[in-house]
Amino acid sequence: MANQTERADQEMDGDRRHAAADALVELGRSPHYRDRADAGHGLARFAELQEAQGPLLDLVLDPHDTFVTRVTAEALLQRTDRIGLAIVASALAVTDESHGEWIHTAIHDVFGIFSNKRDSAVQVCEELLQDPDDRVARGARQLREALTEIDPVLRPA
C-alpha cells in the first residue's frame, strides 16, 4: 500500500512539474520582454522536460529583446548539466552577432568565478562534440572555446 501511495505522489508531482512548465511556456509567448525573461529563467529549471526545450531555445534566441537572451542563457548555463549546455550550444550555432555577445556575457558571468565549475562545463562540451545533432556539436565547439578563454578567479587549493 505504501508503494502505491508513493507512486501516486510521484505521478502527481510529475503532473505538477509539467503544468508549471506549460504555464512558463505560455508566459514565454508574452509580448512583454520581462515576462519572457522571467519565463526563460523559470523554465530553465524544467529543461529536462521535452516540452520545455524548444521554447527555451526560442527564448535564448528571442528576436525582440536580448535581455531575454541573456537571462535565459544564464539560467541554462547555471544548471551546468548536459541539457542546459546543449540548448545554449544549439543557440550559439545559429545566433547572430548581437545575441552571441549576450550569450558570451552569460557564459563569462556563470563560469568566471570557479575553475572547477568551468572545467566541468568544458568536459560536458567535449561530450557534446559527439552529439548526433550537428547544430549542438557545432555550438559545443564554440561554447568550449569561450569557456577555455575564461581565466576563473578561484581555483582549488
List Cα–Cα distances, 148 to 12, 108, 126, in angstroms.
42, 10, 12
pLDDT, tens digit (0-9, with 9 covering 90-100), for 51-107: 999 999 999 999 999 999 999 999 999 999 999 999 999 999 999 999 999 999 999
Percent of the chain with pLDDT over 70: 93
pLDDT for 109 equals 98
Residue 102, φ and ψ in degrees, nearest 5: -75, -35
Domains and CATH numbers, the chain: 2-148 (1.25.10)
Q: How far is CA 126 from the centre of its chain?
A: 17
- What global pTM score does this model have? 0.92
Instruction: Tell me how far apart the terminal alpha carbons of the chain are, to the nearest angstrom.
Output: 51
* Rounded Cα distance, 152 and 157, in Å: 14
